[in-house]
Structure 1
Amino acid sequence: MTGDYLRFVGRVMLMFFGSVCAAFAAVTSSDRPNVILIVADDMGFGDLGAYGHPTFRTPQLDRMAAEGQRWTQFYAGANVCTPSRAAMLTGRWPVRNGMTSNRRRVLTAHAAGGLPPEEITIAEVLREAGYATGAIGKWHLGHLPRYLPTRQGFDEFSGTPYSNDELVAKPWRRAFQRRDYWNTSLFYEPRSEYWDIPWMRNEITVERPVDQRTLTSRSTDDALDFIGRRGEQPFFLYLAYHMPHVPLFVSEEFAGRSEAGIYGDALAELDDGVGRIMTTLREQGMAQNTLVVFTSDNGPWTVFGSHGGSAGSLRGDKGSTWDGGNRVPALFWWPGTVAPAVVRDLGAGVDLFTTIARIAGAPVPEDRQIDGVDLTPVLRTAASGGRGFMPFFRGTTVWAVRDTRFKMHLATQLGFGLETPRMEHEPPLLFDLLDDPSESRDVAASHPEAVARLREELDAFLDHLTHGPDQLVEQLPES
């Protein structure tokens, strides 16, 4: 062998052992906390006791709010499921990667697209940093194999590939095609066999249709199993509960538990699941080294009446660009690190990518536009911070924007499922959200400087907003 060859081999071996040592250090280092991101489905801003609901009982989440931070101006990355989850996991507005569309609101069970493989999820970032990664519950970012969680940075997955109402079984599809489908027994007297929903483990279907009465309890059980198998390795757990998205289901143990109907029952079972996880962290001595985040993917679907949630004093609901469709509960809990407080600064689901990466000591990708801001200074000190600008998309178009005080609407329309026309506003509507969170008093005439400033900020934002190919529109043939 030549000297050059030996030096080459030596460099390769040095790089190999260096990477092994670095990986081992990342896995065993105590300064890399565990992270659990819990996401409810269609939970409204006003659904929790900690956010003022007078009837729903959510003692575990209320305790989490009291011991950690409760954000009161935190927004989902979009006003419906698929784009909101894409924003949360990639730190990018979903229009950039085609995960929002003007023709379809979410990925269906027949969608040919999904989260593009070239996107970088927070699971991929953390796995590179030595974390074990798990996804449990609802995915809804692509059901074909190349889009499943196990191809997007997650070591393991147990759950459903899409929403629990995405695939109506053949005998009942005619009812779902009605314009007023939300008035059918599919939702108000649901049975699991109405919906042909698979439960998967990694990439294998293990039950179809899944017994939807078990969705919440089995998600919690699988989360506890994942946590219990981690040992000394830091972990990232993405726990996406299906409830309280319609159709509502609860286990026998929680049926009739609340005094607020099945929606209250579903919240009670979800709240109990969060409590079981928090109790495990305390009992296993993991609480001081685990960040737990709880939020929702968008606002409540109020068209379903008592089967939908509450936006509290906020206007609008799921699918709209009013605050009721976008402002969601957000709780951050990490004893000894997250400073307990009520935070009134702006934050968003898109910020969780950057924030979690920073907390884990993992690099944020520099080869693409990352839209999330780092919220860790606020989490650690409760000092003022957060974002200063928030766009509100409907499909691929920005319909409204806000700063730390004012929100400007260029167009408005009622939420998902309601057939109402789009209303254009010129001059735009303007609301002072600090004084008028219900967006009921237009103050554009008395604050022309705020309208002008927000127009400028929107123009600057749009100048740098790229659009990826629409991932939602192409459909596979239906069977």
Structure 2
Amino acid sequence: MGSKMIAFFALIAVAFVRASPPNFVLIFGDDLGYGDLGCFGHPSSLTPNLDRLAANGLRFTDFYVTSPVCSPSRAALLTGRYQTRSGIYPGVLYPSSIGGLPLNETTIAEVLKSKGYSTAMVGKWHLGVGANGAYLPTRQGFDNYLGIPYSHDQGSCQNLSCFPPDVKCFGRCDQGVVTVPLMLGDTIKQQPADFLKIEKSYGDFASQFIRVAAQNERPFFLYYPSHHTHYPQYAGEEYAGKSLRGPFGDALMEFDGTIGKILQTLMETDVINNTLVFFTSDNGPELMRRSRGGNSGLLKCGKGTTYEGGMREPAVAYWPGLIQPGVTHALSSSLDILPTFAKLAGASLPEVQLDGVEMTNILFNLGPSKRETMFYYPTDPSEKYSVFAVRWGKYKAHYYTRGATHSETTPDQDCSLFAFQKYHDPPLLFDLEADPSENYNLTGPDWDPVRTKITVLKEQFEATMVFGESEIGKGKDPTLEPCCTPECSPKPDCCRCNSEL
């Protein structure tokens, strides 16, 4: 199909969107590596639904998140702003964290609610609980919420069942805190959450939300940030032992199954042709877990690092009839989702400094990106060290490098915790199109102009960055840990309940 014809269809698509507001389904994996899906090259992953999305949608090869760990990556996804602006740094939020995603930050859900959208979230929040649930999704634009408000390893798990009939979870997870709660809205319904049944509950909840919105003829936004495939892996009876990759593969297969259920509901309610489905993940694989920790494919290192394996993610956009099947190498980011959804919904952008750019030219035209650069922050960004690396076009410059505990166990010593922070002058320079594994530093005077250009872009960006107050730096208060029986004793063991959903 010629470029003029593609552009014509793009104009039709935009006109259609204006006449009928589209629905949005945003799927976010957890610790899922660039090399973990069959459609991205893994030989034994069983992900038929994601593979079908990729085959019939647009697969991104150069899609980035903003942090190599959970909470800051999620903040950037929902706000279209680097986590340094919103204060979700350093590291991640905990059950007892005093802070959370500031309520004056505008989320995708809030942007879409301004246009009459029904909104729901199901799964992992990890952007704070706070006093009296001050930071829960229901306070951040989501009408409906079912999920665990933080990571499912942030509570002791050694006595919990992760696989049927009663296979205990691998490892101990966090000790000395309450077991993970399953919340419906602002209310704890189950503590500890039942890992064997939770994904079925998520699928049922998501399907019911879609059906109600479709029956009421309301546009909707469904955000499904899964716990899969974060440690400890788990899966219910339908998927346990069914994959070719052991526990990790079973968890991934269950994740794929929930995606399949959502897609099936979109078809049954006859809204799939007016729905943009976007899939990606929060950061690279936790290589320290070995075969239970995911795979970054040909990319270097993984979670916790600013190498490609830590922050380049699989991504797929799917919209039958409007997004043509294909592959794009356009530079794109989770930052770009908010402005893209806002444009398609006809919603106004928040009146703040956004770091995202809209992607409609990529989605409908397979055209070039409006994004020129990607800036890589470490897990603990600071004004002193600021950006660790910058991608400009196909080139990436590392100003600082270091390994991480999360990326231990690989033969590459650059990934190790003992690869301490190192300053590079001149910066390391890689051509990511020719060398996505970051093996071959480009040296010599011929490359000086590229380094100079990237340094100028870095300095320009840093001049616009205003670090928000660190929400994680506000500390912890054990009394804030969610407990379904708050007056019970002794804590945390007494926090137990099991109500009907």
TM-score range, shorter chain: 0.7 to 0.9
Distance, in Å, in 1 between the alignment partners of 2:352 and 2:136 is 22
Asked if the contact 1:294–1:331 (Cα under 8 Å) also holds between the matched residues in 2, the reply is: yes
**Corresponding residue to 2:193 among 198, 201, 210:** 210
1:285 aligns with 2:270: yes
Q: Please name the residue that 2:442 is paired with.
A: 443
Distance, in Å, in 2 between the alignment partners of 1:29 and 1:328 is 31
Equivalent residue pairs, number: 436
Q: How far is 1:213 from its partner?
A: 2.3
**Corresponding residue to 1:382 among 352, 362, 366:** 366
1:300 aligns with 2:299: no
Instruction: For residues 63-93 of structure 1, give each alpha carbon's deviation from its aligned partner in whole angstroms, at most 9, with x where no partner exists.
Output: 1001110000000121111000000000000
Q: Quote the sequence identity (%).
A: 40
1:468 aligns with 2:454: no
Per the alignment, do residues 373 and 133 of structure 1 end up closer, same or farther by CA in structure 2, a change over 3 Å counting?
Answer: same
Q: Please name the residue that 2:53 is paired with.
A: 64
TM-score (norm 1): 0.87
User: What SS class does the counterpart of residue 64 from structure 1 fall into?
Assistant: helix
**Corresponding residue to 1:249 among 231, 234, 243:** 234
Segment of structure 1 superposing worse, 416-425 or 279-288: 416-425
Asked if the contact 1:81–1:298 (Cα under 8 Å) also holds between the matched residues in 2, the reply is: yes
Q: Please name the residue that 1:176 is paired with.
A: none
> Which amino acid in the other structure matches residue 256 of structure 1?
G
Instruction: For residues 127-170 of structure 1, give each alpha carbon's deviation from its aligned partner in whole angstroms, at most 9, with x where no partner exists.
Output: 01100011110000011211111110111111011000112379
**Corresponding residue to 1:401 among 390, 395, 414:** 390
1:111 aligns with 2:110: no
Distance, in Å, in 2 between the alignment partners of 1:44 and 1:111 is 28
Q: Please name the residue that 2:138 is paired with.
A: 150
Q: How far is 1:212 from its partner?
A: 1.7
Distance, in Å, in 2 between the alignment partners of 1:393 and 1:464 is 15
Distance, in Å, in 2 between the alignment partners of 1:155 and 1:124 is 10
User: What SS class does the counterpart of residue 212 from structure 1 fall into?
Assistant: coil
> Which amino acid in the other structure matches residue 349 of structure 2?
V
Distance, in Å, in 2 between the alignment partners of 1:125 and 1:246 is 32
1:335 aligns with 2:320: yes
Q: Please name the residue that 1:310 is paired with.
A: 295
Distance, in Å, in 2 between the alignment partners of 1:37 and 1:358 is 16
Q: CA RMSD in A?
A: 2.2
Q: Please name the residue that 2:220 is paired with.
A: 235
> Which amino acid in the other structure matches residue 91 of structure 1?
G
1:162 aligns with 2:150: yes
Asked if the contact 1:254–1:269 (Cα under 8 Å) also holds between the matched residues in 2, the reply is: yes
Asked if the contact 2:120–2:144 (Cα under 8 Å) also holds between the matched residues in 1, the reply is: yes
Distance, in Å, in 1 between the alignment partners of 2:259 and 2:253 is 10
User: What SS class does the counterpart of residue 313 from structure 2 fall into?
Assistant: coil
Segment of structure 1 superposing worse, 29-38 or 316-325: 29-38
1:139 aligns with 2:125: yes
Per the alignment, do residues 435 and 35 of structure 1 end up closer, same or farther by CA in structure 2, a change over 3 Å counting?
Answer: same
Q: How far is 1:171 from its partner?
A: 9.5
Q: How far is 1:217 from its partner?
A: 2.4
Instruction: For residues 182-238 of structure 1, give each alpha carbon's deviation from its aligned partner in whole angstroms, at most 9, with x where no partner exists.
Output: xxx963488999970000011000000101222322222211111111120000011
User: What SS class does the counterpart of residue 399 from structure 2 fall into?
Assistant: strand
Distance, in Å, in 2 between the alignment partners of 1:346 and 1:457 is 16
Distance, in Å, in 2 between the alignment partners of 1:170 and 1:111 is 23
Distance, in Å, in 2 between the alignment partners of 1:49 and 1:42 is 16
Segment of structure 1 superposing worse, 320-329 or 51-60: 51-60
Segment of structure 1 superposing worse, 197-206 or 380-389: 380-389
Q: Please name the residue that 2:421 is paired with.
A: 422
Distance, in Å, in 2 between the alignment partners of 1:422 and 1:83 is 20
Q: How far is 1:424 from its partner?
A: 1.6
Distance, in Å, in 1 between the alignment partners of 2:19 and 2:57 is 21
**Corresponding residue to 2:115 among 111, 129, 149:** 129
Structure 1 portions without partners, runs of 5+: 1-27, 173-184
Distance, in Å, in 1 between the alignment partners of 2:191 and 2:203 is 20
> Which amino acid in the other structure matches residue 94 of structure 1?
Q
Distance, in Å, in 2 between the alignment partners of 1:458 and 1:440 is 23
